[in-house]
Structure 1
Amino acid sequence: MADRAELAHLLAARRSTAALDQAHPHMAFSLLHWVLDTWADEAAREVFRQGSALLADRCRELGLRQLLPIDRVWVGVRSTQPEAFGGFHHPNQGYRHVQLASVITMYGRLNDPGSASPELGALDLLRSYAHDCLHFGSFREYRLQGGQVVRSRYGINRRDTQGQAYSALDRDDAVSTRNLGVIMEGATDREARLIAAMVADRLGLAERIAPPDQLAFRDTTGRLRPDDFDHFEPGVATRFQLAMAGYERGVGARYQRFLAEMGGATAGSLHELVVAAIISGDLARLTNWLDRRHGPGSFPRIFRSPAYKGPDPGE
């Protein structure tokens, strides 16, 4: 009976969306399907239309049959705070695994929604949605612990009964990663950026994005340059740009270096194995691939922290 009560509590929390916008009291939210239905700009609609079709095809290739329902995606469309700037790097947004829902924001100044390029806004929204679709489709296990339902396994990652994650945190100055949380986030966003880049190339968006938005365009399509963040200074760069730089250095660039170090010329194959394992929870193909290239027992040798006391993620 206790198990049923806790599971009922989890299901009730999933059905409730009342708490989704508490982190953004100055924001007006709309559901994604309402946002799409009310877009007046046909070019922006085409960006999301083509991107959604590409996303569905790509997810099927990777083993994910269901996308995050668009009526579970809350989009911040307007803010009363004059400095609020929305988009993928807006703070305190993303997928909420308890509610099976997503909180994202439209790209641009949220007190002046018409200020940003509609096509870039649609492309950024597509990236956020694709990113959270993969979080939604990631393998999960839960357990009862201390009267609470806790997530014990997520994708290729796991926590022991003391809450210790499988792999240790990277050092602040790390240029690569051996942290499974960073690897999962990096793999997820690589896929989202791939979809955005394909749509941008199909529609020739690069030539239509104004210079002030080119940095965000390169970020959204995964084409940031090594020197893009060399001259950022606090108080000069916007909060959004600083968040973008921090995410790229802490996630995107580290994941790319990990793929190069572990995969070499076959880095693309390694990436696809990582994403497929995140979705299915089956690590057999990934661990076999690593064992063939780096020796038996590669997965725990590469990723496992000495502080972790539980089973490996695939067990």
Structure 2
Amino acid sequence: MRALIAMRTDCTVLTARHPAHVFRPLPEVLRMWEADGVDTALFRSGIGVVRERYARHGLTRLLPLERVWVGYESSRSGAFGGFHHADQGYRHLQMVAVITMYGPMEDRTPVDPALALLDLLRAYAHDCLHYGSRRRYVEMGGRPVRTQYGINYRRAGGQSYSAADGRGSRHTRNLGVVMEGACDREARSMTRRTAERFGVTQPAGPMGALAYRDVTGTLSGEAAARAARVGGPDEQIRYAASLAAYEERVNLPYAYFLTEFAPGEEDDCHARLVAATISGDTSSLGAWLDERHGPGTFAGLFRTPGYFTPDAAPAR
């Protein structure tokens, strides 16, 4: 606990990885944008949607806004931020989310405020589920080692419960991918609902259209593949490529997983996955899968054969 508390007291080790960007806690960034004339009602209303939705899944404590650090006003020419910016996201040891303002980052306010607020809401909703997922730690050599995250497990020696998927695989049998996909499905669903409530529509221009469809979960597989070929400044090209890779490796395999094992019941299966990730209890989800696919479905799908072998090599 002392080691974890020390890590959670100071998050500069995370923001220091982005020396060109200015970082401030999310509440300060919202107030700054409001002072510059940006209407942040979209994001503030979206938080209500997130709170209500997650409460139904059993998550009553959201990631504190002051634990979210937002990067902006970059000194790096051509800097481009957003959900798919490199080396950001939720960090469980520090219990901090590091994210960047969507779009060009040279100024302190976004070029497209509505789209930036939607991107911020997607990132926050996404990280709230990471924050609220069940975790268990053990001490190894004086350092905390996570042995459970949601419904995924790892032996103290490093062996993961489920193995990595094969490169280019259409389906997934990896619990990390399943939980990440479930997390983003939730986040994008709430972002889409908020966009509809505020009448935010797809902007003109290939990059804005791509980002809008990404944050609202309306991106097709074909559009994701085309994203990797979006032209423009270097950082925008890299951002689009990262967006496409995330869709290909996380969201599309998760969607395919639901159609594989819950055809016609995708929403029900997804809700059970989210609730199990929050509680860390797979009994209800396992029983639901067993009813449809036979006994031991959960372990049969996800558990790598060497998980209980003490000297097994760690899975990725």
Same fold (TM over 0.5): yes
Q: Does residue 60 of structure 1 match 2:55?
A: yes
1:14 and 2:8 aligned:
yes
What residue identity is the alignment partner of 2:281?
D
Structure 1 runs (4+) greater than 6 angstroms displaced: 234-237
1:37 paired with 2:31, answer yes
Which of 192, 202, 205 in structure 1 is aligned with 2:187? Answer: 192
AA aligned opposite 1:176: H
In structure 1, runs of 5+ residues without a counterpart are 1-6
User: Among 22, 28, 39, which residue is 2:22 paired with?
Assistant: 28
Q: Quote the Cα distance in structure 1 between the aligned partners of 2:46 and 2:230.
A: 35
Taking a change above 3 Å as real, the CA distance of residues 139 and 92 of structure 1, as seen in their structure-2 partners, is same
> What is the DSSP-based 3-state SS (H/G/I as helix, E as strand, rest coil) of the residue aligned with 2:3?
helix
Give the SS at the match of 1:143: strand
Letter in 2 for 1:255: Y
Could you tell me how far apart the structure 2 residues matched to 1:51 and 1:157 are?
29
One-letter identity of the residue aligned with 2:275: A
Q: Specify the code of the residue in structure 2 equivalent to 1:54.
A: V
Q: Please name the residue that 2:148 is paired with.
A: 153
Deviations 1:219-252, CA, capped at 9 Å, x for gaps: 0000002321344349767111000000000000
Q: Which residue of 2 aligns with 1:3?
A: none
- CA distance in structure 2 between the partners assigned to 1:234 and 1:122 by the alignment: 23
**Structure 1 residues 124, 288: closer, same or farther in 2, change over 3 A?**
same
Q: Deviations over 1:168-187 (max 9, x none)?
A: 10111111111000001000
**Which amino acid in 2 is paired with 1:28?**
V
Flag structure 2 segments of 5+ consecutive residues without an equivalent.
Answer: 311-316
Cα distance, 1:36–1:112 mapped onto 2, change above 3 Å: closer
1:98-109 aligned at under 5 Å gives the runs 98-109=93-104
Deviation at 1:147? 3.0
8 Å CA contact 2:229–2:237 kept in 1: the answer is no
* Alignment correspondent of 2:240: 241
Distance of 2:103 and 2:43 partners within structure 1 = 17
Aligned partner of residue 152 in structure 1, secondary structure:
strand
**What is the aligned partner in structure 1 of residue 270 from structure 2?**
271
Q: How many residue pairs get matched? A: 304
Structure-2 separation of matches of 1:172 and 1:150: 27
CA contact (8 A) 1:161 1:310 kept: no
Match among 110, 116, 122 for residue 127 of structure 1: 122
CA-atom RMSD in angstroms: 1.8
The 8 Å contact of residues 44 and 122 in structure 1, kept in 2 or not, is answered as no
Indicate which of 157, 160, 163 corresponds to 2:158: 163
TM-score (norm 1): 0.92
Q: Which SS does the other structure have where 1:238 is aligned?
A: helix
Tell me, yes or no, if structure 1 residue 281 matches structure 2 residue 292: no
Question: What CA distance in whole angstroms lies between the structure 1 residues aligned with 2:12 and 2:94?
Answer: 10
Match of 2:289 in 1: 290
The whole-number CA distance in structure 1 between the counterparts of 2:200 and 2:309 is 48
Asked if the contact 2:145–2:156 (Cα under 8 Å) also holds between the matched residues in 1, the reply is: no
- The CA distance in 1 between the partners of 2:225 and 2:296, in whole Å, is 39
2:224·2:243 contact (CA, 8 Å) conserved in 1? no
Residues 106 and 125 of structure 1 are in contact (CA less than 8 Å); yes or no, is this contact kept in structure 2? yes
